[in-house]
Each structure stands twice: as C-alpha cells, then as structure tokens.
Structure 1
Amino acid sequence: MRRQKRDMNTRAFDKGYQAGITGRSQELCPHSDDEHRQNWISGWREGRSDQWDGLTGVSGVHKIRAL
C-alpha cells in the first residue's frame, strides 16, 4: 500500500490545499470525520491564501507535494 493512502490526515490536507488553490468552495469538503475535516479545511485555507498571494501555476509548484 502506498504511503499517501495510509496517512489520511496528510492526504486530507493536500486535497484541501488543491481545492483552495483552484478556487473551489470550502463547502465542498468531502470529510465527515472531524479530524480529517479540520485538516482538509486547514489545507484549503492555506491554498486560498497562496492563490490570493499569486502562487498559482508555475510560481506555486514548490508548495505542492508529490502525490
């Protein structure tokens, strides 16, 4: 089994970051578990912040982890 599948908190953060950087709504969080939802929302907030700072496309590649 791949490492990313085992650590759901990190995966939730990464998926939330991807959703935030692309401008999707926070309401689209797919998690019902409180811990995973909190990690997704934290990633989403960081992604939105990076989008507002202009770190999209090539300038933000260093922020995205390899999935």
Structure 2
Amino acid sequence: MKRQKRDRLDRAFSKGFQAGVGGRSKELCPYANLDSKSQWLGGWREGVDGRMTGLFNR
C-alpha cells in the first residue's frame, strides 16, 4: 500500500515549527499563499514558544 503525501498545510506547519525551534526569523517564511503562510507562522510561533519555555535545547 502506498503512503500518501502529507497535507500541504500540515507540512507548512511542521516546517514553520522546525524553523521556530531552530531560532530562524519569521521573515524567512518561504510561502506566498495566505493559507500556507498562516500555517507556517502558526508552527513558527509554537516552535518559538517551546524554545522560550525550555522544551528544546537548541
């Protein structure tokens, strides 16, 4: 059985989360589409919040 690709919005959120944990700026969002960009920024916010509260040691 083939694995389906993840939803594009899920992927945008995940990439934003990784960027937030990694300390990248939100200005580096690679998406132009409003839906994808808002998902990326939501993930970025959660990643930054997790990093600030000490959940990640990066």
**Into which bin does the TM-score normalised by the smaller protein fall?**
0.7 to 0.9
Name segments (4+ residues, structure 1) moved above 4 Å: none
User: Could you say which residue in structure 2 is the equivalent of 1:11?
Assistant: 11
Q: What residue in structure 1 maps to residue 34 of structure 2?
A: 34
Q: RMSD across aligned C-alpha pairs, in angstroms?
A: 1.2
Q: Residue 50 of structure 1: CA displacement?
A: 0.1
Q: Which has the higher helix share?
A: 1
Aligned sequence identity (%): 44
Q: Rg bigger for which structure?
A: 2
Question: Which residue of structure 2 lines up, in the alignment, with residue 22 of structure 1?
Answer: 22
Give the Å deviation of 1:55. Answer: 1.0
TM-score with structure 1 length normalisation?
0.77
TM-score (norm 2): 0.88
State the number of aligned residues: 55
Matching residue of 1:45: 45
Unmatched segments (≥5 aa) in structure 1: 58-67
Q: Quote how far apart the aligned CAs of 1:27 are.
A: 0.3
